[in-house]
Structure 1
Amino acid sequence: MIRWVAALMLAATPVLAEVPEPVEYRGEPYRAPVPDTLAGAEVIGAERAIELQADGVAFIDVLPRTRKPDNLPEDVVWREPPHDTIPGAIWLWDTGYQELSQAEQARLRNGLEQATDGDQAAAVVIFCRADCWMSWNAAKRAVSMGYSRVIWFPGGTDDWQAAMMGPELVRARPVAP
């Protein structure tokens, strides 16, 4: 009887499938479970992110900007929703998509150079939100650009807030286009 109940309980326990690391950049849906790995990068949790932020390591937020709806009536005033980020982070919006425009590629390249003072061996933490492929894509791009100390924080601002050990999030200002 006990063996049968134990077997029944095991069958009812959901099995979380591991997400394989893709070879290429990931597209839609961007909000979905992410892998535990990123070749060429270190993967960290919130506690380590808080330590690195306190040590002055550069942080890059790649959450996309919310665009003005195309069908918004002309007499309606558009106000972009605010975005909060980790203190000191550079917001390189729209740089985590599967495919980037030339402007987005330049924003990522220039932002990485700014964050690291042009030192490709300097540590840089790349994040977005939990279960967001944007940060995985951007971190993979940073690795492919020759940055050797890319640190991917897959939990991003969600895990930062949940940890409640670090400074509160602050209002983000996007870098110039």
Structure 2
Amino acid sequence: MFPRRRSPRPEPPLSRLAWLGIAGLAAVLLALSPVSSEGALPDEPDSYRMDAYRAPTPATLTGARVIDTRAAEALWKAKTAVFVDVMPRDVKPANLPAGTIWRDKPRDHVPGSVWLPNVGYGALSPDMDSYFRRGLATLSGGKPDAMLVFYCQTDCWMSWNAARRALSYGYTSVIWYPAGSDGWAKAGLPLDKATPME
């Protein structure tokens, strides 16, 4: 008699092998790939932000102090700093047809703030640069070490740019409040109707 042949062990189905291969490849790629930056804050740029101003901002501003809403509230209550709102404002077009009604978009901000609109763009015209310099000189009483808190809204580069520019003007106690009026309101703190400084 011939010995009985053992039947070979059945191979796993191809689909199972494929899944094992895909899972192994995915694990290798995951281990070798850098951590996803999704949701991470951007790094500080080398210069001013020039476009896309409503976007996530860095966590830092070299030369300035960065504060959260609790610290902003403490400064506001102590009245030890000047709050500078730099939210942009639509400018009435010069060529509007006669009879066109123009209404400014209302702006609510931290009570006691001074609104210097349109000074947070990446590039300022000579007139706007002069307006910003005059405004800061008035608000600081001519003291370069006066505490100045710059803000607009959450995820708004206007305040980052304005604070950076104030540093370039020689102000030494520049404070940036990135949460802005949105963060202030979210904390249940009061807001006032803003009027631009002339």
TM bin, normalised by shorter chain, reads: 0.7 to 0.9
Q: Confirm or deny that 1:42 pairs with 2:30.
A: no
The alpha-carbon deviation at position 69 of structure 1 amounts to 5.3
Q: Confirm or deny that 1:53 pairs with 2:76.
A: yes
For structure 2, the residue ranges without an aligned partner over 5 or more in a row are 1-22, 28-35
**Partner amino acid, structure 2, of 1:175:** M
TM-score by length of 2: 0.77
Q: Confirm or deny that 1:139 pairs with 2:140.
A: no
**2:52 corresponds to which residue?**
29
Q: Confirm or deny that 1:161 pairs with 2:185.
A: yes
TM-score by length of 1: 0.86
Residue deviations 1:118-145 (CA, integer Å, cap 9, x gap)? 1111111000100000000000001111
**1:170 corresponds to which residue?**
192
The alpha-carbon deviation at position 17 of structure 1 amounts to 2.3
Find the aligned partners of 1:70 and 1:116 in 2 and give their Cα distance.
33
Flag the structure with more relative contact order, 1 or 2, with Cα contacts below 8 A and sequence separation at least 6.
1
Alignment check: 8 A CA contact 1:62 1:135 kept: yes
Residue deviations 1:35-56 (CA, integer Å, cap 9, x gap)? 0000000001111111111111
Q: Confirm or deny that 1:16 pairs with 2:33.
A: no
**Partner amino acid, structure 1, of 2:192:** V
For structure 1, the residue ranges without an aligned partner over 5 or more in a row are 8-12
Q: What does residue range 6-155 of structure 1 map to in structure 2 within 5 Å?
A: 15-56=38-79, 57-68=81-92, 73-155=97-179
Larger radius of gyration: 2
Find the aligned partners of 2:111 and 2:72 in 1 and give their Cα distance.
12
Find the aligned partners of 1:94 and 1:60 in 2 and give their Cα distance.
12
**Partner amino acid, structure 2, of 1:88:** G
Equivalent pairs counted in the alignment come to 164
The alpha-carbon deviation at position 74 of structure 1 amounts to 3.2
RMSD: 1.9
**Partner amino acid, structure 2, of 1:172:** A
